[in-house]
Amino acid sequence: MRRGRTAGLTFGVACAVLALSVPAPATAADEVKLGDVQQAMANLAKIDGVVGAIGEAYVDGKRVGQGTAGSRLLNGKGGRIPASSRYRIASQTKLMEAAVVLQLVKEGKLGLDDKLGDLLPEVTKHDWVDRADDITVRQLVRHTSGIPDFIASGKFDVFDFTTPYRPIDLVKAARTVPRQGEPGQYLYSTTNYGLLGMIIEKVTGHDRATEFAQRLFAPLA
C-alpha cells in the first residue's frame, strides 16, 4: 500500500477546499493571480497518507481555479475524482460550531466560562460526563476539557457514513472511556464538539443546521 497509514484502511479521500476571501481589484476576478490550483492538488496528492484531493479557489463568490488529483480509492483504484464531487467535511464543522458559540457569547446568550453542568444539567444528573461541573465552554472549544473521544470506545465504525447517531449517544459512549487528562490539559476529542452542538441547540432552541444556515451560510451567500 503506497498511501494510507493503517493496513486496515479500506477507503479514504482527502478533500481540500481553497475558499479564499480575497478582495478583488478593479479588474475582473479572472485576472487575479492565485496560482495553479491543479498543481496544488497534484502536490497534495503526493503526500504520504493522502489518497486523493480536490480543490477550488473563489474570489468574491466566483470560482477562479479548480483542480483534482489522485484517486477515489487506495492504490490508484476507483478512478479519478471528479472535480465536482461532493464529500463529507467531517471535522470542519467544528470551526462552524466554534463560530456560532462565539456569536452567542457576543450576544450575551452564553459565556465562555459557563459550566457544562449548568448548561446541560442532564449530563451531571445522569453522570454522562465526568466532572461536568468543572468544565467550561472555553475548555470544550479548546479541547482542554479532558473528556475522552467517543471513538476510543470502539463502539463506532468511523467509516460508516450511513448510521445516524444522536449527540447524546456519542457522549454516553465517551463516558465508558477512562479520562485521560484533567480540565485544562489539551486532548483532541470530538466529544467536546458534540456537547457544544447540544449547548447551541439548548441556548437557541434551534437545531445546529438551522443556526449554521442563519448565522453562517446565509450571510456568506
For residue 9, pLDDT over 70 is answered with no
Q: Computed from CA positions of residues 45, 46, 49, 51, in that sequence, does the dihedral angle turn out positive or negative?
A: positive
**Residue 31 predicted with pLDDT over 80:** no
Burial 74-84 (b: 16+ CB within 10 A, else e): beeeeeebeee
Most confident of 4-18, 107-121, 177-191: 107-121
Do residues 195 and 184 make contact, with C-beta atoms less than 8 angstroms apart? no
Banded model confidence at residue 27, pLDDT cuts 50, 70, 90 = very low
Task: Kindly list the structural domains of the chain, giving each domain's residue range(s) and its CATH number in brackets, ordered by start.
Answer: 1-87 (no CATH), 92-220 (3.40.710.10)
pLDDT of residue 73: 87
- Indicate the pLDDT class of residue 32, thresholds 50, 70 and 90: very low
Q: List helix spans (H) across 4-54.
A: 37-45
Q: Which residue has the higher pLDDT, 80 or 136?
A: 136
Alpha-carbon Rg of the chain, whole angstroms?
20
pLDDT tens-place string over residues 130-143: 999 999 999 999 99
Read off the pTM. Answer: 0.74
